[in-house]
Structure formats: structure tokens, C-alpha cells
């Protein structure tokens, strides 16, 4: 009969997670299964079956994601795994085709994911739309630039206070940066505040701090401290889990708190924004060791709704032929995009630009550049048109997804 794809219920959670664990390298426990089910949308789960046995997994979160100048529904593609016994048999393709049908049924114009392997998802139309920067700063090079603002006051808060103070601040500011998404109450509780000892890597439980100005929270930090001693001197590590500010002073205050922790040799922060103010706050930014990784990948499933649902930095009118590698189809669209409003209509006019849906997804959030992809031969169009598209699609701040899902 071969492999088939279909829904899977919570009653098969143990088998579903065991199949995931085979691919991702973890063993699921009762506690893990219970916590997973608190936020996982089982009605959107899919499994690949071989003789009734689960050999592949896939799911989706129903996100509201920030795009340049607005928000749109977005399927958060997640828990994609295939058993090692069933690799290279088309199982992933079957599951993704089923997933895309589900996304369209939910009227979501976008799907997004974090790629466990960066070579996989382009052939299914996901484009690398954002990057994250891992940063490490030595405690001996944390002086601020002479033009840095005076840091806002910060204070440590308990986990209970953090539950009250941080989510409202996040929700007030999540629409400012493409790549953020709304977090539900269960998501905060079971993803952001969950703090099992097994996940600490030898460090402390989470510490929480907030910056406050004029009686209002203007930023927060969530971090751990990992103790280390060298010849009697403290050489610990501050590990920043999340740090967000809304004013120059709050960024300065929270960065100062993380950088100037006593008994510390280094400060680490993973998946930071390319626009992170830390780099401009430091007097010696080259001393911050950085590693850039791909983060959010975006697939456009409804071209008109996706493009009409974001804002643009300049007007552009262009006819674009789009190829979707998932099913090999081509479609041609007239993009009339401007800061005042946009329309995207199907047309039979000769195209000025030819692009794969992967690269349209990569450019969609404002990070990737049409000119750069054209120079690499991945898309085709004249220089003037590609430059105009770059001017229209560029956005500040750059996209940043602060959380792996």
C-alpha cells in the first residue's frame, strides 16, 4: 500500500513524539508529552503512516505574525521529522503537500519555519527571510560608547512578577519588528517560562529583570548565570535568553545589567537581531564575537494576499513571473506596490522579472535583496527593475524572529 499521510490525535502522542525523537535525538517523557500537548495544535498535526505505524511527523501553529507594516495569519510549520528507515522515499514531500492544503484551508497566506537543515526547504518554496546573530562578549570589553545614553533603571523581579509584567510589554511592541508573533497564555507558560532543571545546562534557573521609566515597563531581560572559577577568580557566563527594550535608555540599562554581572568572564546571547542596539552601544563592537545563522524561512502560499498585506518603502509597478517548485507551476502577476496601498493581480502580460517562490519569500520580509539574488543568477530581470524592487521591499527594522518553534 505504501506510505500515506493523515491526521493524528493526541491519543497517539507517545508514538508521535517517539518518531520525532528518532529524528531529532531526544527521548520523550510523560512530563514532556504533557507540556508539549499544552501548546501543540493536535487538530493540525499530520503523520505519515506505513502499515498503520507512524514514520513521519508534521504540525502547524496558528500564528499571527508581524510583517513589514502589519500582521498576517501564518502557519508555523513545525515538528517535521521522518524516521531514518524512511528517508528519500518522498515522505516529506507527501506531508508538506498535505500541510499546504491545510494552510490554504485555514486561509493563511504564509507559512514559516526554522530549518533543521538549511538545504531542505527551498525546494518546497520556503525562502530564508531572516537571520539571527549569536554574540559573545568578554567581560573585559563591555565599556559603552561615549555617545550611549544614560541607562534606564532596572530591577530584578521574581518569576511571578515576570508573568505579570513581561507578556503585556511584549504584546504592546511585537508589531514593530517583522518576524515576531503573538504569544498565547499557554505559550508563555509552557515555552517561555518553563524552566526544567534538565534544560539549564548546568546554569541557574532563569533570572528576570525589567527596565522602568516614568512608572512603566520599557524592557525586560531573561537570562541564566553559569558559575565558573579560575584560580579563585569568578569567570562565570551570563547566558541571555531574551532581552528587549523599547527606548534607547531601556536597551542601555538591560544590556548594562547583562554585561556587568559580577564574577563573570563572558556574556553570551543567542539569536539576536542584526539591528541589535548592543553593537552600537559598545565602545569596541569588534570585540563582540558574532556568528550569523539563518533563522526564519517564509513560504508564500497566497501571493496577492501576502503582498497586499504588508507595507512598502517606495512605489514600484512590475510584472513578475513566479515559479513554485512544490508543484512546478508558473503564475504571472502585476505588482502595483506603494506606501499608500497595493494591489496584486494575475496577468498574461510579458514578465519583467522571473523569480522562484523561494526567493520571493526570502525577499518578502525585507532582508534579502533582489539585486543580490539576480547577481547570483537565481532570478532574472533588468538592473533598474530589480533595484526598484529592492527600494520598495526594504524595511527597517530588519526581520527578526526571537524564538525557535
- Cβ atoms of 311 and 340 within 8 Å: the answer is no
Catalytic residue among 190, 193, 279, 405: 405
Please give the C-alpha separations between residue 368 and each of 30, 246, 321, 361, 374, in angstroms, as whole numbers: 42, 25, 18, 9, 11
- Cβ atoms of 265 and 138 within 8 Å: the answer is yes
What does the CA dihedral 162, 165, 166, 170 come to, rounded to 10 degrees? Answer: 170
What span, in angstroms and rounded, lies between the C-alpha atoms of 262 and 229?
12
What span, in angstroms and rounded, lies between the C-alpha atoms of 95 and 112?
15
Confirm whether 220 is a catalytic residue. no
Q: Does residue 163 have a cis peptide bond before it, meaning omega lies within 30 degrees of 0?
A: no
- Cβ atoms of 341 and 309 within 8 Å: the answer is no
What span, in angstroms and rounded, lies between the C-alpha atoms of 354 and 321?
5
Handedness of CA 217, 221, 222, 227 (dihedral sign): negative
Catalytic residue among 40, 100, 121, 335: 121
66 C-beta neighbours (distance < 10 Å), count: 24
Confirm whether 121 is a catalytic residue. yes
Please give the C-alpha separations between residue 248 and each of 62, 245, 280, 350, 393, in angstroms, as whole numbers: 33, 8, 11, 48, 26
Question: What length does the chain have?
Answer: 405
Contacts (Cβ under 8 Å, ≥6 apart) of 88: none
Cell reading at 55: 514514520
Tell me the DSSP string of 165-232: HHHHHHHHHGGGSTT-B---HHHIIIIIS---GGGSTTS-SPEEEEEEETTEEEEEEEEEEE--EETT
Catalytic positions:
121, 405
Amino acid at each position: 500500500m505504501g506510505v500515506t499521510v493523515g491526521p493524528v490525535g493526541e491519543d497517539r502522542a507517545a508514538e508521535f513524539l517517539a518518531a520525532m525523537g528518532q529524528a531529532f535525538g531526544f527521548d520523550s517523557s510523560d512530563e514532556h508529552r504533557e507540556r508539549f500537548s499544552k501548546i501543540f495544535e493536535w487538530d493540525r498535526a499530520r503523520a505519515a503512516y506505513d502499515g498503520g505505524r507512524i514514520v513521519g511527523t508534521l504540525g502547524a501553529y496558528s500564528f499571527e505574525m508581524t510583517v513589514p507594516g502589519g500582521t498576517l495569519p501564518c502557519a508555523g510549520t513545525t515538528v517535521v521529522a521522518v524516521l531514518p528507515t524512511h528517508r528519500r522515499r518522498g515522505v516529506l514531500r507527501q506531508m508538506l503537500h498535505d500541510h499546504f492544503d491545510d494552510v490554504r484551508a485555514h486561509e493563511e497566506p504564509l507559512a514559516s519555519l526554522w530549518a533543521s537543515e538549511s538545504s531542505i526547504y527551498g525546494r518546497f518554496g520556503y525562502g530564508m527571510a531572516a537571520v539571527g546573530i549569536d554574540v559573545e562578549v568578554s567581560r573585559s570589553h563591555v565599556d559603552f560608547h561615549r555617545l550611549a545614553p544614560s541607562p534606564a533603571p532596572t530591577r530584578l523581579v521574581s518569576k511571578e512578577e515576570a508573568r505579570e509584567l513581561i507578556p503585556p510589554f511584549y504584546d504592546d511592541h511585537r508589531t514593530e519588528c517583522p518576524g515576531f508573533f503573538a504569544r498565547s497564555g499557554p505559550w508563555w507558560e509552557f515555552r517561555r517560562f518553563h524552566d526544567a532543571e534538565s534544560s539549564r545546562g548546568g546554569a541557574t534557573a532563569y533570572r528576570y529583570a525589567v527596565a522602568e521609566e516614568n512608572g512603566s515597563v520599557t524592557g525586560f531581560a531573561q537570562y541564566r548565570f553559569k558559575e565558573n572559577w579560575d584560580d579563585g577568580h569568578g569567570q562565570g557566563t551570563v547566558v541571555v535568553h531574551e532581552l528587549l527594550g523599547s527606548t534607547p535608555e531601556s536597551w542601555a540599562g538591560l544590556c548594562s545589567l547583562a554585561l556587568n554581572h559580577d564574577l563573570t568572564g563572558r556574556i553570551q546571547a543567542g539569536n539576536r537581531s542584526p539591528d541589535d542596539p548592543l553593537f552600537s552601544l559598545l565602545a569596541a563592537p569588534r570585540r563582540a564575537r558574532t556568528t550569523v545563522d539563518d533563522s526564519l524561512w517564509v513560504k508564500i502560499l497566497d501571493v496577492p494576499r501576502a503582498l497586499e498585506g504588508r507595507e512598502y518603502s517606495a512605489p514600484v509597478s512590475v510584472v513578475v513571473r513566479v515559479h513554485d517548485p512544490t508543484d512546478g507551476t508558473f503564475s504571472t502577476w502585476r505588482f502595483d506596490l506603494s506606501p499608500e496601498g497595493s494591489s496584486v493581480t494575475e496577468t498574461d502580460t510579458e514578465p519583467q522579472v522571473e523569480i522562484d517562490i523561494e526567493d520571493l519569500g526570502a525577499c518578502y520580509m525585507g532582508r534579502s535583496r533582489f539585486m543580490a539574488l539576480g547577481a547570483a543568477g537565481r532570478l532574472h530581470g533588468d538592473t533598474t527593475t530589480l533595484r526598484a524592487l529592492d527600494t520598495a521591499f526594504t524595511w527597517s527594522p530588519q526581520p527578526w524572529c526571537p524564538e525557535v518553534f
